[in-house]
Amino acid sequence: MRLSSLLNRKCSVCVLSATDSCRKVLISVKGVEKGCQTQIHSGPKFKTGTKSIVMVGKTGAGKSAAGNIIIERRVFKSTSASSSVTAECQKETSEFGGQALAVVDTPGLFDTKLSQEQVVKEISKCISFAAPGPHVFLVVIQPNRFTKEEQETVKIIQKIFGDEAARYTMALFTHGDDLEADEVSVEDLIGGNKELNDFISQCEGGYHVFNNRQKDSSQVKELLEKINTMVQRNGGSCYSKEMFEEAEKAIKAEMDRLLEENPEMSEEEARRRAERENEFNRACLIGASVGSILGPLGAALGAGLAAAVVALKNKCVTQ
């Protein structure tokens, strides 16, 4: 079932009013309580000012190609075909002009044939990869292939991550070279399409255009300048929400465990492993299972994310 269909049925509302029995099931699962007793020490010393970029969008929109342009090397699998290449979330880091970057590529969650459990798994992984919070949700779209599903992207982001996420959302048009070939400016394109114009107005971070054939790094520099301007307008920090805060705590707890059991392991490697496998991710999947008995659709997405926060925040109280 498509992610947009799940969300349009307001599954998150189900979870926020979840019964105590559901919460007890989540909280009582082996291992959830354990993290509560772990002392969280300082995490890895990342470079100050690291910008976390989460790329979302429809299958075939060019997310992976855009990520490669930003990272300036081919680390995300990309193809010109309309089918999805990215099967799961992937995070890569780099540096551009002294700016440390973390780029998260996501599957085409709107239209690929992912199961409810897979959707929850990949979104929870995205949250872990972006913790303690993203600086921008980069909605990647192709200028001449704007679909009805894509019109709902910002609303979907808000339903998953909260209403304020729109302030950290920016549209990224790929294949700007095609517009140049047609001698059409992106401004004319937006102005001549009401649906696209309405969509861009929802992206409070504005928009940017990538020329996929251009080797000049100036387009990346301009994108980062726009992101920095947006971040400053939003108070100078990343987007923070309870789910990201709880994911960060779970990551640090898992890092402590890994470093204690493997003294030779570097903090960077411990962070990398902890982001992929931690109590937050496991609680999300537990929530998906519990959500499957809450209603006809299971409310898997909302159950997994909201119940994970409930479980992780309340596990100490239940001991």
From 231, 217, 206, 177, select the one nearest 70 (Cα to Cα): 217
> Does residue 123 sit in helix, strand or coil?
helix
Give me the CATH code for the 51-233 domain, please. 3.40.50.300
Tell me whether the omega of the peptide bond preceding residue 132 falls within 30 degrees of 0, making it cis: yes
Other C-beta atoms within 10 Å of 212: how many? Answer: 17
The pair of structure tokens assigned to 96 is: 């551009």
List of residues 6+ apart from 236 with CB closer than 8 A: none
Q: Is residue 106 a contact partner of residue 143, using CB atoms and an 8 Å limit? A: no
- At how many degrees (to 10) do helices 300-314 and 116-130 cross? 50
Report the b/e string of 97-127 with b at 16+ CB within 10 A. eebebbbbbbbbbbbbebebbbbbbbbbbbb
H helices then E strands: how many in the chain? 15, 6
pTM flag (> 0.85): no
Q: What does the block give as tokens for 78?
A: 């990309």
Sorted by where each begins, the domain ranges of the chain are 3-44+241-314, 51-233
Q: What is the pLDDT along the chain (319 residues), one digit of tens a residue?
A: 444 444 444 333 233 333 333 333 332 333 333 333 323 233 333 344 789 999 998 888 889 899 999 999 999 887 655 455 557 889 999 999 999 999 999 887 555 566 667 777 888 888 999 999 999 999 999 888 888 878 888 888 888 888 899 999 999 999 888 888 888 899 999 999 899 999 999 999 999 999 988 878 899 999 999 999 999 999 999 998 888 998 999 999 999 999 999 999 999 999 999 999 998 888 877 665 544 433 333 344 455 555 555 555 554 444 4
